[in-house]
Structure 1
Amino acid sequence: MFALAWPIVATQLLQVAYNLTDTLWLGRFSTDAVAAISLAFPLVFLFISIGGGLNVAGSTLVAQYTGRASDPDAADDAADGTGGGDDSDPVDTISHSRTAGTVAGQTLTVVTAVAVTFGVLGYLLTDDLLSVLPSSPATAGQVVPLAADYMEVFFLGLPFLFGFFVFSSLMRGYGNTRAPMVVMALSVLINVVIDPLLIFGVGPVPRLGVQGAALATVLSRTVATVVGLYVLLGTDAGPRVRLPDFRPQRRFVVQIVRVGVPSAMEQSASALGLITLTAMVVTFRPEVVAAYGLGNRLVSLVFLPALGLGRATNTIVGQNLGAGNPERAERATWLAAKVATAVMLVVAVLAVAFADEVVAVFISTGTDAAAETIRLGAEYIGVRAIEFGFIGVLQVVLGAYRGAGNTKTALAFSLLALWIGRVPIVYALAIAGDLGPFGIWVGMTAGQIIGAVAAAAWFTRGTWKEAVIDEADDARGA
């Protein structure tokens, strides 16, 4: 579990480094620039979420076919960083191993088509999307135009962002979490170097501001996508993908859609929830908007241990169910939940102790607005720290559901946490009530606690212990 999890945590840490690098440099550019990317992210994430759901399908199917290609006892070694195991039956092993490669190729084809379509739509609809958000006069005049500049560049580069996401998911399903980490490190290094050059301008490079931050992300992700495709097509580090595997095959497209659509709906619902929350937040002054966005980015950083263990659980559950070992999948899930809770409680203590210092690193213009943003951001992190132990449980249990292919259940509990928890509580406390920004912080925290308790209780029923590829094979045999 740890062999799988630590590269995932490192990869996600590098992923957050993208966001934090933008925030760090834009915080030196202007407070409005920080608020602009806070405003843009939920809208961009709405489009990314569809491809993300299909990536979950690819990861789950690759994991289960890889586990099926292994001797059941060899699934114990699935976390050695290479995937697979000793052959139990040579014919079945080769067949299921090839099927994992075919699923990977099919996932790449489907996700690429979705990425190109959504990239074009997002670029054309940027102004319309931003117009949905009710903004205060100051935010509408100072922040919204900058958000539009950021989003247009981001949408044009969407296929390249999707490319790395699908590569990482497929490799994770195979059991190789280290290759995505190395590719991500290369991409982040490029981003760190070119981000300030494009934001502030140096020599012949023009001063692009928020557009420069978006362009730096797109360029560095393009490199990651190209390298990832080489790994899949030209090496044996992951599922062996051949050129014929990219030709759409109805059987696998149906499997990807059946498993991926609930995950896509889950992530889309999360994106819509973030947009709804942002629509409420932007009715406050720009300092609150900036503190909310910065706080969310920092909270996403401290969630990394839980996220890593959750994704490792996804792979372990998928491979063990594919190998016919549901009891071991359940033991791994509970172990991961306990470890995630313990780690996140430690992180919570550190977050509360150093909240002011951490937030101040990213806002350094020295203005009154900057000082207020720092105060609000530190307050936000302090409140959110209450939920950290619960989020460890939630991430692990949702990972187990996804690894089993039970993505509808994961969807249900994500909706519960967001739409029964966060959104109505934030509205009741911050908009309808009189708590103001503090009501936003409390509502964001309460929703995750509700989701964690409910998801863990349902998990104990054991109704998730069936591999999705068994269902597909039974249907094909019939």
Structure 2
Amino acid sequence: MWNPPGKETAMPANSEPSADLTEKDRAFRAFVREGNMWKVVFYVCTPLALYQSLNQLFKIFDSMMASYIGASSVSSVAYLSQINLMLSALGGGLAVGASIKVSEAYGAGDFKLVKRRVSTLFALCGILGGGLLLILIPFAPQFLRFAKTPEEFIAEGTTYFILDLIGTVLNFFNSVYIAIERARGNSRRILHLNMGVILVKLSLTALFVYGFHSGINMIAAATIISQCLMFAAAIYHLSQKGNAFSFAVRSISLKRRVVRPMILLSVPVIIEKMAFSFGKVVVNSMCTVYSPLTVGALGISNNLGGITTNPQNGFQEGGSAIISQSLGAGLPKRALEAFRCILIICIAIGAALMSLTLIFLEPISSLFAGGDPEFQKMICTIYKMEALGAIPLGINASVMALLYGFGKTRISLMINFSRVFIFRVPVLWALQNFTDLGDISAGIVMAVSNIATGILAVAVGWITVRQIRKQYSI
């Protein structure tokens, strides 16, 4: 007989606090196990998709306000933010990988193990974040030079980097908290909290930039303050005594059989996210051979692409939680049913939003072109090619949900590594060295990498589903 994941790591814990579920958690667990899967997917994933979409919009507003300070300051922020984005992959990857094991234990009904994993996960975040601050804050300029940061950015942005680093570490904890709420099905709470954080961040940024005429350091301060609000909400919701999803010091266990499963799933996701961020930096650097306008047009095209990919990512995140919980409950067939629903929805989102953005591309692109018709034409040219990947990336998002849900994070690492370092960077290098196409190459490489990633995801998904059906005799 097949043993549900999570049971194998259970161990006696007589001295631990009690771990029970609220009525809402019990109802959601039963809903995932027995409810109509379409309703389950939409209930869990729609708020996440909405949040992802609105977050993309607010990022654009935030960038527009930051540009008021000056070109040099904005360049410093853009460059240093990419470095912090790679560092944030440490916490983000840990949250994704470890929360899969939390969902499995939740689905399996081992609530003591849920509490143990939740508590241990926050302890790991504390160790990771504390170590990062102790190492990087005293040696921030040296680290930035090691990362090949231009000296003018180091002179202007070292304090910003340190402040943003503190915000990044706070986000480690917040990412874990969000992952735990996602496992509980509290997607609406995630949406409401994140919207509050975003509104506070934008309001403070506007106050500091337009009201006080502050520099880039206060933009980082606005981030810290907004992240503290989410952190306070995490402390409040995770301090409920007796709840399986609460934090308790006595439930922390750094024993191998507790930590190892979470780390094994998290490490590939961490590498995947860091490599993807690094790959974007490499592509931007390679595009500078054309003109600064090309790099800007590619960045704007990526933002427009996010209109489609962000809601797909919302269904990916929620879908992986549903799949892992179904697997933990001993219902692998139901997990595959969830994957099928997510696949259909992500393809539909890709087709619909791709069509809408292409139909209204002229007026949308004019918002970013600053009255420069040449720049607007470049944006449109690149995005028309990037948009071709909307449906393939929808397939990729659903396959990622399947792989994360079944704990196959090494395969997800392979797909996303290939997306950047096989289908994108080498293709751009070849276009630059063996053709004279010019800046249109930036659009071509986006189309090639996104479509090729979708094709690879189809192959991986087909093989994975066959293996799952065989393994569980479905």
Same fold (TM over 0.5): yes
1:351 aligns to 2:353 (yes or no) = no
Q: Match of 1:191, as an amino acid?
A: K
Q: CA deviation at 1:99?
A: 1.1
Q: Show the counterpart of 1:23.
A: 63
Q: Show the counterpart of 1:335.
A: 341
Instruction: Confirm or deny: 8 A CA contact 2:119 2:246 kept in the other structure.
Output: no
Deviates more, 1:256-265 or 1:110-119: 110-119
Distance 1:234-1:445 versus aligned 2 partners, 3 A rule: farther
1:232 aligns to 2:238 (yes or no) = yes
Instruction: Confirm or deny: 8 A CA contact 2:163 2:217 kept in the other structure.
Output: yes
Distance 1:122-1:458 versus aligned 2 partners, 3 A rule: same
Instruction: Confirm or deny: 8 A CA contact 1:164 1:225 kept in the other structure.
Output: yes
Q: Show the counterpart of 1:475.
A: none
User: What SS does the corresponding residue of 1:465 show, helix, strand or coil?
Assistant: helix
Q: CA deviation at 1:332?
A: 1.8
Q: Show the counterpart of 1:113.
A: 127
Instruction: Confirm or deny: 8 A CA contact 1:153 1:211 kept in the other structure.
Output: yes
What CA distance in whole angstroms lies between the structure 1 residues aligned with 2:202 and 2:56? 12
1:390 aligns to 2:392 (yes or no) = yes
Cα deviation code 1:330-372 (max 9, x no counterpart): 12212211221112111111222223433443565x6x6xx65
* Matched residues, number: 429
Which residue, out of 414, 431, 439, partners 1:429? 431
Distance 1:236-1:198 versus aligned 2 partners, 3 A rule: farther
Cα deviation code 1:410-445 (max 9, x no counterpart): 111111212110111122224664333321222123
Distance 1:6-1:286 versus aligned 2 partners, 3 A rule: same
Alignment of 1:161-200 (within 5 A): 161-200=171-210
Q: Show the counterpart of 2:6.
A: none
Distance 1:207-1:184 versus aligned 2 partners, 3 A rule: same
What CA distance in whole angstroms lies between the structure 2 residues aligned with 1:48 and 1:155? 9
Q: CA deviation at 1:408?
A: 0.8
1:207 aligns to 2:207 (yes or no) = no
What CA distance in whole angstroms lies between the structure 2 residues aligned with 1:236 and 1:253? 22
Alignment of 1:84-95 (within 5 A): none
Instruction: Confirm or deny: 8 A CA contact 1:421 1:450 kept in the other structure.
Output: yes
Instruction: Confirm or deny: 8 A CA contact 1:57 1:259 kept in the other structure.
Output: yes
Which residue, out of 293, 310, 316, partners 2:322? 316
What CA distance in whole angstroms lies between the structure 1 residues aligned with 2:439 and 2:189? 41
Q: CA deviation at 1:34?
A: 4.8
Q: Match of 1:186, as an amino acid?
A: G
Two-structure CA RMSD over aligned residues (Å): 2.9
1:244 aligns to 2:246 (yes or no) = no
Q: Show the counterpart of 2:410.
A: 408
Q: Show the counterpart of 1:88.
A: none
Alignment of 1:248-397 (within 5 A): 248-362=254-368, 364=370, 372-397=374-399
What CA distance in whole angstroms lies between the structure 2 residues aligned with 1:43 and 1:183? 26
Is there any run of 5+ residues in structure 1 with no aligned partner, and where?
A: 70-95, 135-139, 471-478
Is there any run of 5+ residues in structure 2 with no aligned partner, and where?
A: 1-40
Distance 1:35-1:250 versus aligned 2 partners, 3 A rule: same
Which residue, out of 81, 101, 111, partners 2:115? 101
Distance 1:355-1:145 versus aligned 2 partners, 3 A rule: farther
Instruction: Confirm or deny: 8 A CA contact 1:109 1:246 kept in the other structure.
Output: yes
Distance 1:360-1:106 versus aligned 2 partners, 3 A rule: farther
Cα deviation code 1:377-432 (max 9, x no counterpart): 33332221110011111011011101111111111111121211011112222466
Instruction: Confirm or deny: 8 A CA contact 2:140 2:158 kept in the other structure.
Output: no
Instruction: Confirm or deny: 8 A CA contact 2:279 2:421 kept in the other structure.
Output: yes
Cα deviation code 1:36-67 (max 9, x no counterpart): 44433432221111221111122201111111
Instruction: Confirm or deny: 8 A CA contact 1:21 1:195 kept in the other structure.
Output: no
What CA distance in whole angstroms lies between the structure 2 residues aligned with 1:150 and 1:363? 28
Instruction: Confirm or deny: 8 A CA contact 1:318 1:403 kept in the other structure.
Output: yes
Q: Show the counterpart of 1:459.
A: 461
Distance 1:464-1:309 versus aligned 2 partners, 3 A rule: farther
Distance 1:154-1:359 versus aligned 2 partners, 3 A rule: farther
1:68 aligns to 2:70 (yes or no) = no
Normalised by the length of structure 2, the TM-score is 0.82
Distance 1:148-1:22 versus aligned 2 partners, 3 A rule: farther
What CA distance in whole angstroms lies between the structure 2 residues aligned with 1:41 and 1:400? 30
Instruction: Confirm or deny: 8 A CA contact 2:238 2:247 kept in the other structure.
Output: yes
Normalised by the length of structure 1, the TM-score is 0.81
Q: Percent identity?
A: 20
Distance 1:44-1:65 versus aligned 2 partners, 3 A rule: same
Deviates more, 1:336-345 or 1:117-126: 117-126
What CA distance in whole angstroms lies between the structure 1 residues aligned with 2:243 and 2:443? 43
What CA distance in whole angstroms lies between the structure 2 residues aligned with 1:224 and 1:169? 13
What CA distance in whole angstroms lies between the structure 2 residues aligned with 1:323 and 1:456? 27
What CA distance in whole angstroms lies between the structure 2 residues aligned with 1:52 and 1:418? 19
Q: Match of 1:428, as an amino acid?
A: A
Deviates more, 1:268-277 or 1:255-264: 268-277
Q: Match of 1:172, as an amino acid?
A: R
Distance 1:247-1:319 versus aligned 2 partners, 3 A rule: closer
Cα deviation code 1:97-121 (max 9, x no counterpart): 1211221111111123222333455
What CA distance in whole angstroms lies between the structure 1 residues aligned with 2:154 and 2:280? 17
User: What SS does the corresponding residue of 1:460 show, helix, strand or coil?
Assistant: helix
What CA distance in whole angstroms lies between the structure 2 residues aligned with 1:298 and 1:127? 35
1:222 aligns to 2:228 (yes or no) = yes
Which residue, out of 156, 166, 170, partners 1:160? 170
Q: Match of 1:440, as an amino acid?
A: A
Q: Show the counterpart of 1:74.
A: none
Instruction: Confirm or deny: 8 A CA contact 1:32 1:286 kept in the other structure.
Output: no
What CA distance in whole angstroms lies between the structure 1 residues aligned with 2:442 and 2:297? 11
Cα deviation code 1:130-165 (max 9, x no counterpart): 67569xxxxx69878666664343113221122211
Distance 1:65-1:42 versus aligned 2 partners, 3 A rule: same
Q: Show the counterpart of 1:420.
A: 422
What CA distance in whole angstroms lies between the structure 2 residues aligned with 1:3 and 1:197? 36
Deviates more, 1:392-401 or 1:141-150: 141-150
Q: Show the counterpart of 1:92.
A: none
